Each structure stands twice: as structure tokens, then as C-alpha cells.
Amino acid sequence: MSKLLSVLAVAVLALSGCGTAASSDGEVVLRVGDQKGGSQSLLTAAGLLDDFPYRIEWSTFTSGPPLLEAASAGAIDVGGVGNTPPIFAAAANARIAAVYSAKGNVESDALLVPGDSPVKTVRDLKGRGIAVAKGSSAHGQILLTLAAEGLTTKDVTLNFLQPSDAYSAFTQKRVDAWAVWDPYTSQALLEAGARVLTDGRGKSNGYTFQVAGRAALDDPRKEAAIKEFVRRISQAQRWADTHRDEWARVWAAETGLKPEVARAAVARGGDLPVKLDDAVIASEQELADAFTADGALPGKVDFRKFVDTRFQGELS
């Protein structure tokens, strides 16, 4: 993400009133970063926002990297991202820590091509352009997908675009492929006639995280609010897995997605809580090392330093 976009993202947060830790009467305000169809929709569907004991201020981001920049800057307190954004944030020595982990299906982490594309295999992408959000989970998927075929990112042209811009570039055939996640995957398949070239199976680890800013974690009042938030995220994810039709209806209503897009995305299965343990950390370290070897990161990242397990006892 460009420095200008980063500044704008933080500026928007400040203007929307997200720059304060508490209201004028001393009430704790939890500032949550979200993505399309993310935590707010999920908690609403599960009925877990009505009695939430803290006031929440929501800010929506196009992908994980700008969300984590805001968390590091103290503009938000916590937010949900995929498996790759925390690695890029760690490489930048961001003031963040992963505090909660879940694992989802990787079928929706897709590398898409137009329905009439001559590209039939991953190796056919050599010399072609791929749209992807830099530092997103899709960026990691591209890296590992190419590596599985003996290619690197130097064999293709990566066009770093946020999802809305990437969708436009993809439908106008200004790029040859698009790496993305749900609900964008389902939207492109149903509305743009896209075709899945390959997905994350056998390549992506499927992890997602709730990541908090260090400043918020160091504030006892915010710490309590974050603990309650991730506890409810865990409950909501389990609810969504057993109430898929209801979740799809609410998701469509909350996001403006067409009902058939929401149903298709939900049918693949969502994220379920997993313990933020050594196995998760080792998998993320492996992905970080792959980015370093590819040259996308300037040096080695010690992912463990950006993990905080203080809330694990609340999630059993």
C-alpha cells in the first residue's frame, strides 16, 4: 500500500471519530477494523452485538494491510485479517500482535481467470499479469502456487490492486488473472463469468487472525474489551458453521451482496477457532520465510514476536 493511501486511511479513521480511546464520559470505546462481510456482519447475525458490554466503533478496510497499519498507528484497537498481512506488518516492525486464530476453507482462496481465457494451467501464467492486494492472504497464495509449479513472482507481473480496483481490471481484461478470497471469489464466479484456475488447497494454511495494536493491549480497559470481543468472535464463528442459511441471509443484507453470492460463499464453510499455538506460529513462519526468499520482504521475520496468547484461556 502506498504511503499516500496509508495516510488517507488513518485520516479517514480520525475524521470518523476513531481516534479516541474513550468517550467524553469515560466509557470504553473499542475501535474495530473490519473488512467486507467480516466481524460486524458475523456478530450481528449471531446476535452477539446486542448485549456487548462496550461501545464499538467500526471502520471498514479494503484488505488486511491497511487495517494493520491503522492498528499499529493506534487508530484502531483490533481487527480481523488473513494469514499474510501480519507477516508484512511484522516485517515493518508494526506495533501489533496476533491475539486470536481461526482456520477456514482454502477453496475460496482462488486464482481466477476470465471464462474465455486461454490460460489453462498455472504455468500458462508465465509472462502474464495477475491482480492482487499486496501483503494480503492472496499474495501469499500466489507465491506458494507459483512455487509449486517451479515458478516465482519474477515469472509474472503482479499488479498490486485493492479488490474493487482489481475486479474492474479483471472484468475489463486489463489483467490476465486475479488472486482473491470470498466473497469476491463467489462474486466473480457468479457475476463476471470467472473460472477458477486453482485454489488454496495444498498451498494455503487457511489461517485468519484477530490482531490488536500494542497500545490497546497495554491499556487494561482496552485489554478487557478485546478479550470479550475475541471471545464473541469465537462464539459467532461456531454459530455460523451450524446456521449457514441464516448467516448467508444476514451477510447479504449487511453487505449488499446478492443473496446467491452470499449463499455460495457460505456453502464452502467459514472460519472456525483454533488454538494460537506452536503449530500456527510455525506455519506462519514458513510462509514468512517464503516471502523473504522471494525478495518480497527485506529480511527474516520472527513471527513469534508478533503473537500474544494472553486470551487463549478464554476461548476453550
Architecture of domain 110-199: 3-Layer(aba) Sandwich (3.40)
CB atoms < 10 A from the CB of 265, how many?
27
Region(s) of the chain under CATH 3.40.190.10: 3-104+206-314, 110-199
Nearest to 265 by CA among 197, 186, 190: 186
Output the pTM of the full model: 0.84
How high is the pLDDT of residue 12?
40
On average, the pLDDT of the chain sits at 90
pLDDT of residue 86: 96
Residue 67, pLDDT above cutoff 70 = yes
| Per-residue pLDDT, 275 | 96
Q: What pLDDT does residue 313 have?
A: 78
H-type alpha helices, the chain: 3-15, 39-45, 64-73, 85-91, 137-148, 163-171, 184-191, 214-217, 220-242, 244-255, 259-267, 278-294
> Strand 207-213 vs strand 78-81: parallel, antiparallel, or unpaired?
antiparallel
Q: Give residue 6's pLDDT.
A: 39
Structure confidence at residue 36 (pLDDT)? 81
pLDDT at 4 over 90: no
pLDDT at 315: 67
pLDDT of residue 314: 67
Q: What is the pLDDT of residue 66?
A: 94
Percent of the chain with pLDDT over 90: 74
**Radius of gyration for the chain, computed over Cα atoms and rounded to the nearest angstrom:** 19
**pLDDT band at residue 22 under the 50/70/90 scheme:** low
Number of H helices, E strands in the chain: 12, 11
- CATH annotation of 3-104+206-314: 3.40.190.10
Cβ–Cβ < 8 Å for 268, 107: yes
Residue 50: which pLDDT band, with cuts at 50, 70 and 90? very high
pLDDT for the residue numbered 9: 41
What is the DSSP pairing of strand 110-114 with strand 177-180?
Answer: antiparallel
Burial tier of 235 (Cβ tally within 10 Å: 0-12, 13-18, 19+):
middle
Give me the mean pLDDT over the 214-225 stretch: 97
C-beta of residue 176 within 8 angstroms of C-beta of residue 125: yes
pLDDT of amino acid 270: 86
**What local confidence, expressed as pLDDT, does residue 136 receive?**
86
- The lowest-confidence range among 191-195, 208-212, 269-273 is 269-273
User: Is residue 21 very low, low, confident or very high in pLDDT (cuts 50, 70, 90)?
Assistant: low
pLDDT in tens, 170-207: 999 999 999 998 889 999 999 999 999 999 988 889 99
Residues 135-146, mean pLDDT to the nearest whole number: 91
Averaged pLDDT for residues 242-264:
91
The CB-side HSE value for 26 (13 A sphere, CA atoms) comes to 0
Whether the predicted pLDDT of 5 surpasses 50: no
Distances (CA, A) of 179 to 109, 111, 129, 130, 306: 7, 4, 11, 7, 26
